Structure 1
Amino acid sequence: MKTLFKLLVKINNAILPSYSQKDPNKLSTAQKAVLGFRYWALTNSLK
């Protein structure tokens, strides 16, 4: 299962945009969803 999440993180880094330099309070709802999904995949790949 861990390898699946590691693969998902690699795909996320290649496809999805990064919002690390932006203020989370100023992001749109869709951008917050992308940020949350990336965080969820990363934390599960590290467990």
Structure 2
Amino acid sequence: MQLEEHINRKSGRLSGGNKRNLCVSNALIGGPCILFFDDPSTSVDPIA
């Protein structure tokens, strides 16, 4: 999710796209069987 450069930054100081990346990363922790996303592409760089 390309968040390494923000490792020492508080989540409240991240841009909208990086906050979304962080939320998606948190959702994937633990390997859940099913995830439901509400428009996950909003504010996310499609190339990343």
| TM-score (norm: length of structure 2) | 0.49
Q: Which has the higher contact order (CA 8 A, sep 6+)?
A: 1
Give 1 or 2: higher helix fraction: 1
| TM-fit CA distance, 1:20 | 3.5
User: For this pair of structures, how many residues does the alignment match?
Assistant: 31
% identity of equivalent residues: 13
Aligned to 1:41: 28
| TM-score (norm: length of structure 1) | 0.50
Instruction: Name stretches of at least 5 consecutive residues in structure 1 with no aligned partner.
Output: 1-15
Q: What letter is aligned with 1:22?
A: R
